Amino acid sequence: MWDDGTIELIEEFKIIVLNRSSIVLCIVNLASGGMASCVIDPKLIFLSAIKSGASAVILAHNHPSANTKPSNQDRILTRKIKDGGKLLDIKVLDHILMTSEGYLSFADEGLM
């Protein structure tokens, strides 16, 4: 879902919206920023999830720096969204950091 021409230039944040059977309902492009960051409004994540009838979401964003190590801001945002999801009964299954060379899954790394 990332353009090969921009994955190393512009940070983008997307969510994968899933139903109760873990079938992808849609992929939503939520934000696009600069080379070092983009601003995410958690309300938009849940607005998209609720409008789609989601039971779960997967967060995903790229790091143009090609560094898959999550920043402190990445960890805080993930926790904040996960906590918000609990209130709405929408599970946050993972947060994936993409680069042109690879990825990091918060779930696989025990960071969820």
Looking at the domain 12-105, which fold is it? Cytidine Deaminase; domain 2 (3.40.140)
User: What is the structure's pLDDT at 43?
Assistant: 94
pLDDT tens digits for range 41-80: 999 999 999 999 999 999 999 999 889 999 999 999 999 9
Give CA–CA dist 25/46, Å, rounded. Answer: 14
Q: For residue 28, report the phi and psi dihedrals to the nearest 5 degrees.
A: -110, 125
Q: For residue 60, report the phi and psi dihedrals to the nearest 5 degrees.
A: -150, 135
How many other C-beta atoms can be found within 10 angstroms of the C-beta atom of residue 91?
Answer: 18
pLDDT category of residue 35 using cuts at 50, 70 and 90: confident
Structure tokens given for 46:
């849940």
Domain ranges of the chain: 12-105
